[in-house]
Amino acid sequence: MFSVTKIEYLMVYTHGGLPIYSKCFGHFCQTAFKNPELLTGLLSALESIPPTLGDGLSLEAVKMGYTTMRFSKVMPGGQSVVIGLSEDDLATAEAVFNGVKQLFELDKFKDVDWGYVRRDIVDAFTQELVDRVLVDVMHERGGFHDECPLGDMCPMHTRADTADSRGIWSIIRSKYDELRRRMRAKMGE
């Protein structure tokens, strides 16, 4: 049967686990909210990806709820890319990894210290990543749109310039805790 692969989420972070950019682009963040085991699974998978792995597609496809997650260490600098696709689609995963790799190789990004980065650089990186790389990669695969209904409030949304010195997994975890608190407050518990 014909099915179109969708990018459900993308996470880019430093060798030390600090976020560069991450977000979901579908309903994964909400599915994980309703499904604590899925969230725990995702966060512990992220946390346990060994920083010492070499280049390339170092992990087999991991089933994460309705998504297939793949991981790659894209640069000698050790930046990592995690992608969740709606299908087990190696070709699309590789196209995304290559696109991100080329982005890091651009003059304006290749010497950036993502631990101490200015907002305009993260803006430029994010814009090229989402509006160019993902759009180009998905152009002949059904197109790319950010369909997450929470927009920038998506709990999987992280950026290097607004993050403190915590790992991407603990930032996402506390965003979910915050979301949960707000939901409870709304329901008057």
- Angle (CA) 62 26 40, round 5°: 45
Cα(47)–Cα(79) distance, rounded to whole angstroms?
Answer: 14
Q: Which is nearer to Zn ion, 90 or 153 (CB)?
A: 153
64 and 42 Cβ atoms separated by less than 8 Å: yes
Tell me the per-residue interface mask from 5 to 44 with Zn ion, x by CB under 5 A, - otherwise. -------------------x----x---------------
- CB closer to Zn ion out of 81 and 148: 148
Task: Write down the least CB distance from residue 105 to Zn ion, Å.
Answer: 28
Nearer to Zn ion, 102 or 174 (CB): 174
- ∠113-117-122 over CA atoms, to 5°? 110
Q: Give the helix/strand (H/E) hosting 69.
A: strand 67-73
Q: How far is the CB of 101 from Zn ion (least distance, A)?
A: 24
Structure tokens at 144: 């790319």
The residue behind tokens 């890319």 is: 81
The site map against Zn ion for 105-144 (x = CB under 5 A) is: ----------------------------------------
154 touching Zn ion, by CB under 5 A: yes
Nearer to Zn ion, 15 or 175 (CB): 175
Q: CB count, 10 Å around CB of 42? A: 26
Which of 112, 117, 148, 171 lies at the binding interface for Zn ion (CB under 5 A)?
A: 148
Least distance (Å) between residue 185 CB and Zn ion: 20
The neighbouring-strand residues paired with 127 are none
> In the structure encoding, which two tokens stand for residue 86, read together?
């709606």
**Could you list the residues that contact Zn ion (CB under 5 A)?**
24, 29, 148, 150, 154
